[in-house]
Amino acid sequence: MGNTIKTGILLAGLTVLVMIIGNLLGGRQGMMIAFFFAVIMNFGSYWFSDKIVLKLYRAKPVSEAEAPQLHRWVRQLTQQAGLPMPKICVMPSESPNAFATGRNPEHAVVAVTQGILRLLSEDELKGVLAHELAHVKHRDILIGSIAATMAGAIMMIAYMARWAALFGGLGDRDDDGGGVIGLIAMSILAPIAAMLIQMAISRSREYAADAAGASYAGNPYGLAKALEKISSASKRIPMKAQPSTAHMFIMNPLSGKSMMNLFSTHPPVEKRIEKLTGQHYS
């Protein structure tokens, strides 16, 4: 029930934010247009956010005939977690990473990159898969997918606001000035607000998913070693990822990219490994 309430609050908050941007762009008429846009986005986020994210990263379903070991490992872990079998997708990226999406456990998808399949051993990959299934079990996947879709929409609107500010705003305003300043401020603050929402949603959930994933896999060391390997390899082979979806991955694909670190959606990998193993990581 906790995540259901959180999802409702997220949708309401982002709806208000979209309406404020609409008001800055076009006054009362812009706010009404933004409201209808937000309603459509909320509906689309619930039903189609998983498909949008999967398409964004060109993730393709793989059958049991195509990836028998992968299916066998996921099936074993779902039995441990008490979950239905999710769909399994593979992303055509050499950067090692993974995420889960879907509106509920019955419609869950676990997606992994080609790079992570090549990089990790069996125990390490099981640790990663178990972590993603923990997000499914905890019902983090819907709110994560919605946050990705809505944050992406807010960033797109903010980008439009920056252009509107450059040209003096859109249309006649019934206020006493300051519209351009408001547009500039909102175009800067909206992406920050979207990232802060993602950060609040996901940072604490990563520790919980690490701990639950370790229990499904039978030990914490496979996941701990996987996190270490992914962190190192991601720096050598960066992933082309959208900031609005960074919180969905097992490790932030934007790590090391200038200002993105200020809005990191994940705890430091060293802290995650320490919590998993109970040993200081260096």
pLDDT band at 182 (very low <50, low <70, confident <90, very high): low
- Side-chain half-sphere of 91: how many Cα atoms within 13 Å? 25
Beta bridge partners of 111: 89, 99
Told to judge if 206 belongs to the known catalytic residues of this protein, a careful annotator would answer no
Residue 128 lies in a domain: yes
Instruction: State how far the Cα of 63 lies from the Cα of 114, in Å rounded to an integer.
Output: 15
Exactly one of 94, 124, 132, 228 is catalytic; which is it?
132
Residue 282 inside a domain? The answer is no
Cα separation, 147 vs 199, whole angstroms: 10
In a domain, 81, yes or no: yes
Neighbouring residues of 196: CB distance < 8 A, sequence distance ≥ 6: 263
Token readout for 170 is 């859109």
Average pLDDT in the 126-134 region? Answer: 98
Rounded Cα distance between 173 and 194, Å, is 26
What's the pLDDT score for residue 82? Answer: 97
Q: What pLDDT sits at residue 62?
A: 97
What is the C-alpha to C-alpha distance for residues 183 and 177, in angstroms, rounded to an integer?
A: 11
What is this structure's pTM? 0.78
If one compares 139 and 7, the residue with the highest pLDDT of the two is 139
Average pLDDT over residues 180-203: 66
Q: Is residue 111 part of a domain?
A: yes
**φ, ψ (nearest 5 deg) of residue 40:** -65, -40
d(CA 3, CA 204): 13
- Taking only the tens place, the pLDDT of each residue in 70-93 is 999 999 999 999 999 999 999 999
**Scanning the structure block, which residue is given the tokens 């509920």?**
104
Report yes or no on 223 lying in a domain. yes
Mean pLDDT calculated for residue range 188-201:
65
Give the pLDDT score at 261: 47
**What is the rounded CA–CA span in Å between residue 122 and residue 119?**
10
Give residue 125's pLDDT. Answer: 98
The domain in which residue 68 lies consists of 2-277
SS3 224: helix
Amino acid identity at 95: S
Average pLDDT (9-23) is 75
What share of the chain has pLDDT > 70, as a percent? 74
- Per the structure, how many domains does the chain have? 1
pLDDT at 203 over 80: no
Q: Is 155 part of a structural domain of the chain?
A: yes
Give the residue, 108 or 256, on which the prediction is more confident.
Answer: 108
pLDDT at residue 169, rounded to an integer:
52
The answer to whether residue 172 scores a pLDDT higher than 50 is no
Residue 175 above 60 pLDDT?
Answer: no
